[in-house]
Amino acid sequence: MSRTWLRLSSIAAVLALLLAACVGDNGGGPAASGAAASGAPASGAAASGAPASGAAPSAAGAKGAIKIWYSNNAEEVTWGKAVVAAWNKDHPDEQVTGEEIPAGKTSEEVIGASITAGNTPCLIFNTSPAAVPQFEKQGGLVALDSFPDGASYIKDRSGALADQYKFTDGKYYQMPWKTNPVMIFYNKTIFAKAGLPTDNPPLKTYDEFLATAKTLVAKGGVQAAIWPSPSADFYQPWFDFYPLFIAQSGGKQLVEGGAPQFTSPDGLAVAAFWKSLYDGNLVPKEAYTGDSFADQKAAMAIVGPWAIAAYGTKVKWGAVPVPTKDGKDPKDIHTFSDEKSIGMYSSCKNLGTAWDFLKFSTSKDNDGQLLTLTGQMPMRTDVAATYPDYFKAHPEYTAFADQASRTVEVPSVPNSVEMWQTFRTAYSESVIFGKTPIDQAFKTAADKIKTLVSGN
């Protein structure tokens, strides 16, 4: 059996090589670059962050069966299956098949590989905004503006916050779906043990926070006041530096208009604050396997409401906005959105159905379902007012609904992953391990990042 198959496959391989060598636009093979690279790129913008034209929306009207991916988080799966079933009942000719993929780093690898192979599903419901520029560069995403009601639908649903999700060319390559505004969770039992007030804990200013942290470690019986992961992955800043920076700077992104913002006095203040926590041994420099807050090794956590389901009855928690240097009115505090988007991918044949399903799954009802089942905030204007019943039944989520209107996203710029990695390396060596002075490390990182986001 194996010999014949191998012979066939070797013939196929030789043919594949020949094909790849001769035919022009085979994106995954060497030939494409051969064709495109002869001389300077034809359109001058091509070398920079200008979008690669993926599948032209000539199939924009096409309807038929589509496939979608959503995360394998149990509640999201429940939601996903329900939405798909409801759609399929009413659309026998446009059946939707749902599959699960794990959220997180692996999902980016898988999506990237699928884009190259051309077998991405029509919609992926857990696309990370930081990955969108790269997928777009690969020509894997469809600009939602190409649908007549594309941009208007997104703006109507998400309001002013939608602007952060446009790419440098002003188009929407992702639809903002759900947000998990990052706040500070604190363990009421441990706070009580340490003699701290549990109903309005002193966590507003950096000085207060630092003092509280010291008390917690000294008297609260915990190893750490708070335990953000110190590892060097590119996305870690989203859960230590970035939320505080956003709050302190009144809503700035890491980079705005091509210029790094984190070297401002605000950025340096945030970094200095974290450093003081590390220097005081209030925050460990090693990672914890598991959830330190749920395991009660840390008195606080900096995370979004998705974690509530995990803490459940294990921990008596409360939530406050992230601290700022001199304290601000909670109504003025912005934070990181930890948002996930929905992407429509260029390998999709039936773009019409995909767009219709996209609108269906983000309708008021289905967004409400999402909220009820998962506790994550759909990216809608004024969530609290739209779903009053839910918030009456779950008052602990109201703080998050309120915070959700003041969230800031990662900058939608070229080379965004590399930008975050560069930042993380600088932060790690200066703030966590104290090997270089902060302003020096940040300056070097800022110079590098400036070049990266300009698209070169």
Partner 1 sequence: MATSVTTERAAPRVDRPEPAGRMSWRRVPGLAALMLGALLFLFPFYYMVVGALQREPNSDISGAFPNPANLTFANFADINAQVDLVRTLINSGIFTGGVLLATFFIGLLAGYALAQLDFRGRSVVFNTMLLILVLPFQLFMIPLYVLIVRTYGLADSYLGMILPFAVNATAVFIFRQFFLQLPRDLFDYARIDGASELMILRRIAIPLARPAIITAMIVTFIGPWNEFLWPFLITKQHDLQPLAVALANYISTVAARATNPFGSILAGAVVLAVPAVVVFVIFQRQFIESNLGSGVKG
Partner 2 sequence: MAVVAAGHGGRMRRLFGRDPIGYAFVAPYVLFLAGLFAYPLLVALYISFFDYFFAAPGAHVARPFVGLDNYAAVLSDPVFQRSILNVAEFILINVPLTVLLSLVLASALNAKLPFRTFFRVAYYIPYVTASVAVIGVWLWLFSGGGLLNGVLGPLAPSPSWLVNDVLAMPVIALVVTWKQLGFYVILYLAALQNIPRELYEASEVDGAGVVRRFTAITVPGVRPVTTLVVILATIVGANLFTEPYLLTGGGGPNGASMSPVLLMYQQGIEQGHAGYAAAIGTVLAIVVMAISAFNRFVLERE
Binding residues for partner 1, rule: CB under 8 A, are 2, 9, 12-13, 16, 28-29, 69, 72-75, 99-104, 106, 109-110, 112-114, 116-119, 289-291, 294-295, 297, 306-307, 309-310
Separation CA 215–CA 443 (nearest Å):
34
Among 129, 181, 284, 304, binds partner 2 (CB under 8 A): 284
**By the 8 A CB rule, do 347 and 120 touch?**
yes
| Cβ proximity to partner 1, 218 vs 310, nearer residue | 310
Binding flag, residue 427, partner 2 (CB under 8 A): no
Cα distance between residue 389 and residue 383, in whole Å: 11
Cα 202 from Cα 218, distance rounded (Å): 16
Q: Judged by CB under 8 A, which of 192, 279, 382, 433 binds partner 2?
A: 433
Between 278 and 311, name the residue whose CB sits nearer to partner 1.
Answer: 311
Q: Which of 448, 366, 357 is nearest to 95 (CA)?
A: 357
CB of 208 to partner 1, least distance (A): 30
Dihedral sign, Cα of residue 126, residue 131, residue 136, residue 140: negative
The item of partner 2, partner 1, none sharing an interface with residue 100, based on CB under 5 to 8 Å by kind, is partner 1
Nearer to partner 2, 134 or 337 (CB): 134
**Six token digits for residue 72:** 């394998």
Cβ atoms within 10 Å, residue 400 = 26
Nearest 5°: CA angle at 117, between 121 and 166? 55
Q: Between residues 272 and 309, which has the closer beta carbon with respect to partner 1?
A: 309
> Closest CB to partner 2 among 15 and 192?
15
CA–CA separation, 389 and 203 (whole Å): 30
- The CA dihedral of 112, 116, 119, 124, to the nearest 10 degrees, is 30
Tell me the DSSP string of 34-67: HHHHSSS-SSGGGGTTPPP--S-GGGTT--S-EE
Q: Which stretch binds partner 2 (CB under 8 A): 189-197, 268-276, 300-308, 418-426?
A: 418-426
Residue 218 interacting partner from partner 2, partner 1, none (CB closer than 5 to 8 Å by kind): none
Q: Per-residue x/- marks for partner 2, 2-41, CB under 8 A?
A: xx--xx-xx-xxx-xx--x----xxxxxx-xx--xx--xx
User: Toward partner 1, which CB reaches closer, 19 or 259?
Assistant: 19
Q: Which residues pair with 124 in a beta bridge?
A: 69, 343
Q: Which residues of 428-441 are buried (b: 16+ CB within 10 A; e: fewer)?
A: bbbbbeeeeebeeb
Q: Which does 57 bind (CB under 5 to 8 A by kind): partner 2, partner 1, none?
A: none
Q: Is 139 in the site for partner 2 (CB under 8 A)?
A: yes
Q: Which is nearer to partner 1, 3 or 435 (CB)?
A: 3
Question: Using the rule CB under 8 A, which residue among 54, 57, 220, 378 binds partner 2?
Answer: 54
- Tokens for 135, please give them: 């997928």
**In this structure, are residues 179 and 186 in contact, taking their beta carbons and an 8 Å threshold?**
no
Which of residues 117 and 192 has its CB atom nearest to partner 2 in the complex?
117
What lies within 8 Å, CB to CB, of 352 at 6+ separation is 59, 60, 61, 62, 63
Q: Is 429 in the site for partner 2 (CB under 8 A)?
A: yes
Q: How many secondary structure helices (H) and strands (E) does the chain include?
A: 18, 14
**Beta strand pairing status for 340-344 and 175-179?**
antiparallel
Task: Name the binder of 268 from partner 2, partner 1, none, CB < 5-8 A by kind.
Answer: none
Retrieve residue 454's tokens.
């300009």
CB of 441 to partner 2, least distance (A): 11
Please tell me whether residue 109 binds partner 2 under the rule CB under 8 A: yes
- Least distance in Å: CB of 169 to partner 2? 15
Q: Which is nearer to partner 1, 151 or 370 (CB)?
A: 370
Binding-site ranges for partner 2 (CB under 8 A): 2-3, 6-7, 9-10, 12-14, 16-17, 20, 25-30, 32-33, 36-37, 40-41, 46-47, 52-55, 105, 108-109, 112-113, 115-118, 134, 137-140, 223, 229-234, 284-287, 289, 346-347, 415, 417-418, 421, 424, 428-429, 432-433, 435
